[in-house]
């Protein structure tokens, strides 16, 4: 008896051809711990050789699988051990040399992005951390495909407020140094609380110290497929039927991701890691998380009821996807990156979606204030305050939150930035300009919440 149902096959084909279903990324995680060397030049050479050896066949293998099975696989990426861990062994190194080694290696094997220009400082700074953070603006200005992330908080550790201050300054400086390129550097920089060590999505991907030497992660997508399924549901259907339909659709989407992970793992002889269940939108019409929320019954994303609808979506995606995967990890939920989501862009342009509403939404979705373009004159202290607010939500709720904002240098609210491609475009959203600098300048460590004491 066949394990495949003809209706399911036809439905999946329709998801690919009509509803923008794709596998958003296949990401190879590579450990660089064996590349640590007190000689910076030798260390960078080891990094280049390790990446180009491990990932030599990644892109052609994934492309061949996509062609054979008819599955669109959009991105091929690499995540590596946080580079700050390598910097500790060579105190005289210029950290940007490591970024250039990552950039060169990634280009040599043909991937879209390399993540891992990273520091994990949620409880304090170790050797190499401050130097890496200080170098981020130069690193992102002098490379093309390198992405950077810094974890400044955790439920167990609290928030490193010294790092919060530094990252507000780093984001602004990165935007300034790439102002001639639509401030693109800041779009490749994310600040985390509770960062996952197996995230396949950029800009926050890095390969955690507890991960194996090499593994394959897959990030699925499919907002268009979920929206199309909901569009066929009667408008008076009870909300639990909406949740059930989302779960069933997420299950079907995730099976595709697991299939790809198994195939790539087998072909490359590399262990399969996790499936990230996240619904990742694109600027394409019909491939929007905002449109899913509107299909549930909202006039426009951002109106009252948006947070409740997003909570339902995030939960149902996890429940449906987990049954179709061997191992779930990464961020897993619904993404709400404003410039990458046509529905979010529209809602922001009309004023229905504000940063304050986005912050409320991040309490129930899988990430945070993501791909939000803010006025170019926004002070670093305000950016740090936004980071602190978002990190506090993650810390208290034991979830991942993040900030990826792009100060549009020389521009004001109401204007636009256009990054092109999957990063999209968006309106510059106004930010409360009240001054939090006295709070930010206090520094120290904001204590972990009571719910962190679970042992």
Q: For residue 359, what is the domain's CATH number?
A: 3.20.70.20
Q: What is the pLDDT of residues 79-91, one digit of tens each?
A: 999 999 999 999 9
Q: 418 is written with which tokens?
A: 């256009």
What was the pLDDT predicted at 213?
95
Domain boundary among 178, 193, 208: 193
What was the pLDDT predicted at 282?
77
**Closest to 426 (Cα-Cα) out of 391, 352, 386, 374:** 374
Domain shared by 175 and 96, yes or no: yes
Average pLDDT over residues 244-261: 90
Confidence of residue 285 (pLDDT cuts 50, 70, 90): confident
Return the number of other C-beta atoms located less than 10 Å from residue 68's C-beta: 9
In a domain, 18, yes or no: no
Instruction: Domain count for the chain, please give it.
Output: 2
Cα separation, 167 vs 387, in Å, equals 8
Confidence of residue 291 (pLDDT cuts 50, 70, 90): very high
What was the pLDDT predicted at 321?
87
What was the pLDDT predicted at 8?
55
Q: What is the pLDDT of residues 159-216, one digit of tens each?
A: 999 999 999 999 999 999 999 999 999 999 999 999 999 998 888 999 999 999 999 9
The pLDDT > 70 percentage for the chain reads: 96
In a domain, 305, yes or no: yes
Distances (CA, A) of 329 to 155, 318, 397: 18, 10, 18
What was the pLDDT predicted at 2?
44
Cα separation, 237 vs 260, in Å, equals 34
Does an H or E element contain 417, and which? strand 416-418
Q: What is the pLDDT of residues 203-214, one digit of tens each?
A: 899 999 999 999
Residues in the chain: 455
Domain shared by 171 and 313, yes or no: no
Domain boundary among 176, 193, 210: 193
Q: What is the pLDDT of residues 33-44, one digit of tens each?
A: 999 999 999 999
Cα separation, 122 vs 164, in Å, equals 10
* Residue 72 CB contacts under 8 Å (≥ 6 apart), including other chains: 16, 21, 22, 23, 66
In a domain, 6, yes or no: no
Q: 179 is written with which tokens?
A: 């102002």
Q: 86 is written with which tokens?
A: 């390598």
Domain shared by 225 and 152, yes or no: no
In a domain, 64, yes or no: yes
Confidence of residue 22 (pLDDT cuts 50, 70, 90): confident
Q: What is the pLDDT of residues 389-437, one digit of tens each?
A: 999 999 999 999 999 999 999 999 989 999 988 788 899 999 999 999 9
* Residue 238 CB contacts under 8 Å (≥ 6 apart), including other chains: none
Domain boundary among 154, 178, 193: 193
CB of 176 closer than 8 Å to CB of 408: no
Cα separation, 341 vs 280, in Å, equals 9
Average pLDDT, the chain: 91
Is 60 exceeded by the pLDDT of residue 3?
Answer: no
Confidence of residue 256 (pLDDT cuts 50, 70, 90): confident
Domain shared by 182 and 227, yes or no: no
Q: 443 is written with which tokens?
A: 């520094």
Average pLDDT over residues 254-278: 91
Q: What range does the domain containing 227 cover?
A: 219-449
Domain shared by 249 and 188, yes or no: no
Ranges assigned E (strand) in 123-229 = 146-154, 158-160, 189-193, 214-220
Cα separation, 348 vs 372, in Å, equals 10
Buried b / exposed e along 281-319 (16+ C-beta atoms within 10 A): bbbeebbbbbbbbbbbebebbbeeebbebbebbbbbbbb
Is 80 exceeded by the pLDDT of residue 5?
Answer: no
Cα separation, 355 vs 335, in Å, equals 15
């Amino acid at each position: 008896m066949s394990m495949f149902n003809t209706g399911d096959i036809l439905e999946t084909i329709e998801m690919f051809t009509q509803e923008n279903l794709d596998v958003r990324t296949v990401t190879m995680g590579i450990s660089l711990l064996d590349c640590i060397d007190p000689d910076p030049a030798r260390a960078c050479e080891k990094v280049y050789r390790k990446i180009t050896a491990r990932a030599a066949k990644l892109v052609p293998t994934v492309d061949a699988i996509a062609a054979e099975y008819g599955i669109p696989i959009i991105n091929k990426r690499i995540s590596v051990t946080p580079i700050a861990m390598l910097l500790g062994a060579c105190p005289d190194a210029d950290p940007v040399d490591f970024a250039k080694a990552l950039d060169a290696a990634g280009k040599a094997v043909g991937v879209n992005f390399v993540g891992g220009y990273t520091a994990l400082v949620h409880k304090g700074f170790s050797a190499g951390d401050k130097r890496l953070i200080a170098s981020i603006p130069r690193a992102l200005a002098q490379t093309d495909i390198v992405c950077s992330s810094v974890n400044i908080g955790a439920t167990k550790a609290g928030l490193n407020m010294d790092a919060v201050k530094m990252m507000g300054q780093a984001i602004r400086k990165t935007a300034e140094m790439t102002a001639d390129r639509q401030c693109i550097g800041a779009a490749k920089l994310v600040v985390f609380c509770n960062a996952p060590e197996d995230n396949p999505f950029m800009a926050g991907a890095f390969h955690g110290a507890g991960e194996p030497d090499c593994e394959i992660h897959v990030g699925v997508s499919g907002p268009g497929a979920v929206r199309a399924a909901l569009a066929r549901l009667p408008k008076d259907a009870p909300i639990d039927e909406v949740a059930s339909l989302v779960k069933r659709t997420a299950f079907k989407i995730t099976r595709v991701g697991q299939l790809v992970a198994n195939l790539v793992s087998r072909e490359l002889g590399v262990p399969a890691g996790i499936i990230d269940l996240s619904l990742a939108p694109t600027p394409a019409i019909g491939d929007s998380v905002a449109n899913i929320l509107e299909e549930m019954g909202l006039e426009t994303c951002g109106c009252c009821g948006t947070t409740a609808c997003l909570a339902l979506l995030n939960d149902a995606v996890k429940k449906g996807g987990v049954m179709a995967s061997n191992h779930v990890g990464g961020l897993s939920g619904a993404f709400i990156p404003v410039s990458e989501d046509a529905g979010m862009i529209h809602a922001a342009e009309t004023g229905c979606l504000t940063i304050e509403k986005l912050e409320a939404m991040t309490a129930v979705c899988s990430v945070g204030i993501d791909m939000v373009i803010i006025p170019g004159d926004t002070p670093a202290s305000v950016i740090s305050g936004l980071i602190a607010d978002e990190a506090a939500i993650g810390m208290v709720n034991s979830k991942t939150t993040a900030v990826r904002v792009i100060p549009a240098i020389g521009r004001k609210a109401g204007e636009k930035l256009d990054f092109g491609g999957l990063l999209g475009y968006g309106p510059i959203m106004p930010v409360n300009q009240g001054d939090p600098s006295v709070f930010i300048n206090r520094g120290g460590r904001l204590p972990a919440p009571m719910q962190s004491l679970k042992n």
